[in-house]
Chain A
Amino acid sequence: MREIEYRDALNEAFDEELARDENVVLMGEEVAQYNGAYKVTRGLWEKWGDKRVVDTPISEAGFIGMGIGASMLGIRPVMELMFWSFHSVAFDQLVNNAACCRYMSGGLINVPIVMRGPANGGTNVGATHSHTPEGLFAAFPGLKVCSPATPADAKGLMKTAIRDNDPVYVMENTTLYGNKGPVPDPSEGDFTIPLGKADIKREGSDISLIAHGASVLRCLEAAEILSSEHGIQAEVVDLRSIRPLDQETIIQSVQKTNRAVLVDESKPFCGVSAQIATLIQEYAFDYLDAPIKRVCTIDAPAIYSPAVEPDQLPNAKRIIDQVLTIA
């Protein structure tokens, strides 16, 4: 299979969806003429023009609210936050108007928007630009959240998100944009990946490493070392989608391995892994041979120091250390 970059996989998803549905419109800061701050939308303005690919001013509350309003009339805006960290200046729009309008109207309205952009640490840009809010937004009923780790997942999930009739928040990752991976050729047919479906990225029998986003890649690195140096066969479960959540795959994996380490780039307090932990204790309590362990970002705002930041985030060493406490 051909290999393309994560950013190009996303680009292909946009291109295909722009072609499929005339109501799809890309919006955001620098997404059009500048070709995207991270070149994810490269070439799309040139191809699709002003109406379908729209540069907005730096005005997140304004343009996101505008997209939500337009979606009520059937437009399907795919809106970029240059960093998901900028969610805070548009929070009212993101959690009140996007998540609650359907409910408060008794189901008369739906808000088919996609919010997307990178949500990650690890690039030495300081605390304000390094937030990972997937758990935060998944905590709002009415929203859906996914976090693809590979180019194929990025394309497949993005296409599904655009077609979904509810608001879907896609958390990408600047450190993954340049990664290459196999993605089916468009000539092989429409390629989508459903929300709510986890993916076993590595089979294993001794312990389940459950992660999403870039942490999946850290788990795969750790799994190789655990196998070669410690004789531990780790299974890596990539959640892909946070809400809806593939609880079944999580529980099945833990029932098989009887041990779990949850790896989560968000902070430990009430993050995604906290939710997974409670599900495991509730649905697989009798299968556990050891306490559930977690590897999260060390509980402080993101440190700038390039020398230290890699150790604040989940990495192979920190994962292995935790695994060895219970396996």
Chain B
Amino acid sequence: MESVDFIEEKVIVYRELPPSAPQYCACQREFSSFISLAASQKDRYVGPRTILDMETTSSPHLSPLDFASSPINKSLTSERKVEHYRQMERIRRFEQASLQQYAKGGRMGGFLHLYIGQESIAVGCASLMGENDHMITAYRCHAHALAVGMSMNECMAELFGKATGCSKGKGGSMHFFAPDKNFWGGHGIVAGQTPLGLGLGYGLKYKNLEGAALCFLGDGAVNQGAFHESLNLAALFEIPVVYIIENNGYSMGTSQKRSSAYKDCLAQRADAYNMEWDVVNGEDFYEVRAKVQIAMERARKESKPSILEINTYRYYGHSVADANHKVYRSPEEIENYKKNHDPINLWRQRLISEGILTEEAAKEIGKEAKQEAAASVKFAEESPNPTIEDITDDVYWETDNQTEASKIGRHFFND
């Protein structure tokens, strides 16, 4: 029980969870770069939501894993580790502030899909991105935006619909973009971004660039046709894309069991397309990085796609408009996650146990993040709205750039 046989073609452990916990399964598959890690595994695995079931399984192949010793994590400096903690705190404080502002009424419109509880995933993935790696996600996009380096100011201003927002107040909560940081949104239609992520990978391959396209989707997106079409094309054309299913257990108000047909887990659908896949415990920052890195290397070096299913949980509803989120989930379930599985708490404890962070320093980081979020609210409040004239900018590249072509014919039909 002390080591995991990473060379095993596939080890799948699946079990019924107590009704209070989301579905989870653990799958491992051929970690060539990880063989050395296996022997060193023992007792540092931080994943109580799943570990109980792992320990009770009869499989001889699984045991608590410590992904800290994976090569990509060993190369992390103490400063970087703390920095990642800071990023997670910043994301949470930003979203807490945005929720507060939303609740005041009249400041933001539309939806607000909060990521709180899932922060380790966006930060872990963004931390692996190099010059030619790209990211695209769905509507729960604030964390990815901040993780790739977008500022709280531009993001908060976008939520307020201000001209200083990242999309000039034209996108809103679901549509943050930063192409200069290889971040391509922020997309509102469930699974609509999955062919776009494929296209980012296609572009990399076409240009002979060694990179990976990280395409995020939720567990509710796996039943959309566009996703399946994307998987087929990804495998068929050998596109360097990594599909990351952030599985928070609920497709809006419908649990995974009530929305998806599957054998062991959602990522396993990759088998049908002869594609590699894995399942990740999202509350463990080290595990997220270790496994995503393997998939990214598969994309970069072999130009092969993967599906990763990262298990996680959201504290709040599908969006702030989801009044039922305490109806379809029990308060105990939410409380249990907050208490035992919060990725920020776990990472903090981890860093404290490693002796590179103190409770006091962590508190200070939290305080600073809160202040930064408060400042971003002030920035958003004081920023100007877009004008009526701005409405028809950013529709056509040619008219925005006043090219010769844009002067021929009528492009807009307002009066």
- On A, residues with C-beta under 8 Å from B are 23, 25, 51, 56-57, 59, 61-75, 92-93, 96-97, 101-110, 112, 141-142, 144, 160, 164-166, 194-197, 241, 243-247, 275, 279
Contact = CB atoms under 8 A, between A and B. Distances in A.
Nearest to B233: A62
B408 A66 contact: no
Interface in B240-286: none
A275 B169 CA distance: 30
A62 B232 contact: yes
B409 A108 contact: no
6 contacts: A61-B195, A62-B229, A65-B194, A65-B195, A142-B396, A195-B408
A144 B403 CA distance: 15
B207 interface: yes
A202 B403 CA distance: 30
Contacts of A105: 167, 170-171, 175, 177, 179, 185-186, 394
Interface string B198-227: 111111101100000100000000000110
A93 B195 contact: yes
A56 B204 CA distance: 18
Interface string B390-415: 00111111101101010011111100
Contacts of A64: 195
A129 B175 CA distance: 35
B192 interface: yes
Contacts of A68: 195-196, 199
A74 B134 CA distance: 14
Contacts of A71: 199, 203
A141 B185 CA distance: 20
B168 A166 contact: no
Contact of B170 (A25, A104, A194): A104
Closest 5 CB pairs of A and B: A196-B409, A69-B199, A65-B195, A62-B229, A244-B409
Contact of B409 (A23, A102, A107, A195): A195
Contacts of A279: 413
Interface string B83-94: 000000000000
Given A69-B196, A106-B165, A241-B409, A97 B187 contact: yes
B395 A102 contact: yes
B24 interface: no
Contact of B410 (A66, A101, A107, A196): A196
B206 A51 contact: yes
A247 B412 CA distance: 11
A164 B396 CA distance: 10
A63 B236 CA distance: 12
Interface of B: 134, 136, 165-171, 175, 177-180, 184-189, 192-204, 206-207, 213, 225-226, 229-230, 232-233, 236, 392-398, 400-401, 403, 405, 408-413
A112 B397 CA distance: 9
A59 B232 contact: yes
A110 B406 CA distance: 15
Contacts of B403: 165
A62 B230 contact: yes
A142 to B, nearest CB: 5
B210 to A, nearest CB: 14
A112 B145 CA distance: 24
Given A57-B233, A72-B184, A244-B411, A108 B167 contact: yes
B200 A96 contact: no
A71 B206 CA distance: 11
A142 B169 CA distance: 17
Contacts of A66: 195-196, 198-199, 202, 230, 233
Contacts of A275: 413
A104 B194 CA distance: 17
A283 B395 CA distance: 25
B409 A246 contact: yes
A101 B185 contact: yes
Contacts of B225: 61
B412 A141 contact: yes
A70 B206 CA distance: 9
Contacts of A25: 206
Contacts of B168: 106-107
Given A103-B394, A110-B397, 9 more contacts: A57-B233, A65-B195, A65-B199, A66-B233, A73-B204, A92-B192, A104-B167, A104-B175, A245-B413
A106 B188 CA distance: 15
Contacts of A243: 409, 411
B192 A93 contact: yes
A195 B404 CA distance: 11
Nearest to A69: B199
Nearest to B165: A106
Contacts of B177: 104-106, 108-109
A23 B202 CA distance: 12
B227 to A, nearest CB: 9
Contacts of B401: 165
Contacts of A166: 396-398
B400 A107 contact: yes
A97 B233 contact: no
Given A59-B233, A97-B187, A105-B167, A65 B226 contact: yes
Contacts of B230: 62, 65-66
A194 B195 contact: no
B397 A165 contact: yes
A278 B115 CA distance: 47
- Which of B196, B213, B400, B413 has the largest count of A CB atoms less than 10 A from its CB? B196
